[in-house]
Amino acid sequence: MRLKDALKFIISLLLMFFLFIVQVSIFINFKLLNSNFYKETIEKSDYFTLLYEEVDKTFNNLSIMTAIPKDMLLGSVNQDFIKEQTFKNLDNTSQYMKYKSNLLAARVDIQVIEQSINKNLEDYAKEKNIEINNAVKKQLKEVAINTSDRINDYTNLFNLGAVAKFGEFQKFRKICYFLGNYSLLYIISSVILMLILRLLNRRRPWNTFMWVGSSFIPAGLMTLIPATIALVYKLPYRISVATPYIKEGLTKFMLEYAYFLLFIGLLFIALGITLLAMYICLSNREVISNKVDVIQE
Using one digit for the tens of pLDDT, what is the confidence trace for 201-219? 988 888 999 999 999 999 9
Q: Residues 144-169, buried b or exposed e (16+ Cβ, 10 A)?
A: bebbbebbbebbbbbebeeeeeeeee
Give domain status of residue 124, yes or no: yes
- Residue 1 has what pLDDT? 55
CA-wise closest residue to 149 among 110, 118, 112? 110
Whether 9 and 67 map to the same domain: the answer is no
**This prediction's pTM:** 0.90
Q: How many helices (H) and strands (E) does the chain have?
A: 11, 0
Q: Residues 207-246, buried b or exposed e (16+ Cβ, 10 A)?
A: bbbbbbbbbbbbbbbbbbebbbebbeeeebeeeeeeeebb
Q: What confidence tens digit (pLDDT) does each residue in 26-37 have?
A: 999 999 999 999
**Strand boundaries in 18-90, DSSP class E:** none
Whether 25 and 51 map to the same domain: the answer is no
Whether 118 and 199 map to the same domain: the answer is no
Q: What is the chain's alpha carbon radius of gyration, rounded to the nearest angstrom?
A: 29
Give domain status of residue 27, yes or no: yes
pLDDT digit of tens for each residue in the chain (297 aa)? 588 889 999 999 999 999 999 999 999 999 999 999 999 999 999 999 999 999 889 888 888 887 777 777 777 678 888 999 999 999 999 999 999 999 887 777 777 777 777 777 777 667 767 677 777 677 777 877 888 888 889 999 998 888 999 999 999 999 999 999 999 999 999 999 999 999 999 888 889 999 999 999 999 999 999 999 999 999 999 999 999 999 999 999 999 999 999 999 999 999 999 999 999 998 877 655 554 444 444
Whether 117 and 52 map to the same domain: the answer is yes
The tally of CA atoms less than 13 A away on the side-chain side of residue 159 is: 11
Measure the CA–CA gap between 128 and 177, rounded to whole angstroms: 57
Number of domains in the chain: 2
Give domain status of residue 163, yes or no: no
Q: Residues 255-267, buried b or exposed e (16+ Cβ, 10 A)?
A: bbbbebbbebbeb
Contact of 160 with 104, CB cutoff 8 Å? yes
Show the domain range for 223.
2-33+172-296
Give domain status of residue 39, yes or no: no
Give domain status of residue 165, yes or no: no
Whether 63 and 117 map to the same domain: the answer is yes
Whether 23 and 55 map to the same domain: the answer is no
